[in-house]
Amino acid sequence: MKSSIVLISNPAAKRFSEKKIEKASHFLRSRGYEVEVFSTTRRGDAERLAREALKKSPSLIIAAGGDGTINEVINGIAGEAIPLAILPLGTTNVLAKELGIPENVKGAMEVAVDGTPKIVSLGKIVLTHPSSLITRYFCLMAGIGFDGETVFGIDDNIKKFSGKGAYIYSGMKTLFHFHPNELFFDLDGTTYSGYSAIISKAAKYGGNFKISPDASLADPSFYVCIFKGKNRFDILRYVFGIASRTHLNFKDIEYLKATNIEIKGNAHIQIDGDYCCMTPAKVEVVPYILRLVC
């Protein structure tokens, strides 16, 4: 009996094409696998399709899309034994860069079938609003404050056609009307304050930038950058500092390691590049919960 693979694709991904999905399917079948392809039509579909795929007990699930699509699939299968591989088709493909997975179809599919599942830890965010039941896993990062508000303001139509340009445009708009409230971050029992933060599970951010260079998917902990400045000059200084890899020398940035974080205050949150929710929230590490092929 042939092993089966479920491929979940997102036609809205920046670098998606039917030709690429056909090429991936042909490659997998040439290796002797039975392949089922499912396509998303709206936000949330990838998670639903991943949960349904588990019922088929495939040998592998492949997420074909950007980091947001991969995040949805992760939320559908976290804690299960079936490994996840990726075909990077998104705007920045941060997870692919983190894992060293080629961004071409043949290379990514070779990794999918010949690679070794690596057991990784995930972040889990739980909203602490009394009326909210939102719980989400993330693989790369959670951005709170300026970062979250920038993603909140992204126009999906602009993102579809310009990719990174949508993030830059939204970031510029956010810069001119960002008036944040002070936030309080309890990291493993010690409280810090600031106006924005990036909670990292992986080293790379927004492509090849490294906000938390020590972070690792294999490490069951977070690295956290808390930004204490709130005006336009501060934010621009942080951006240039990150680009030049000097930001960790700034006196108004706290760089910390933690496993449990509670965030108090009022701010937007993004996870893995897609909008999530609003604070207050709790963030914790869930050790070794995903088998990721790389």
Nearest CA to 19 out of 87, 82, 73, 83 is that of 87
pLDDT at 162: 67
- Domain locations in the chain? 4-115, 122-287
Q: What is the DSSP string of 224-265?
A: EEEE---SHHHHHHHHHHHHTT-GGG-TTEEEEEESEEEEES
Question: So what's the architecture of 122-287 in CATH?
Answer: Sandwich (2.60)
Please state the pTM of the whole predicted model: 0.93
In this structure, which topology does domain 4-115 adopt according to CATH?
Rossmann fold (3.40.50)
Note the pLDDT of residue 2. Answer: 66
Q: What is the mean pLDDT of each run of 10 residues along the chain (294 residues)?
A: 89 94 98 97 96 96 97 97 97 94 97 96 87 84 96 76 74 87 97 98 92 95 97 94 96 98 96 93 96 96
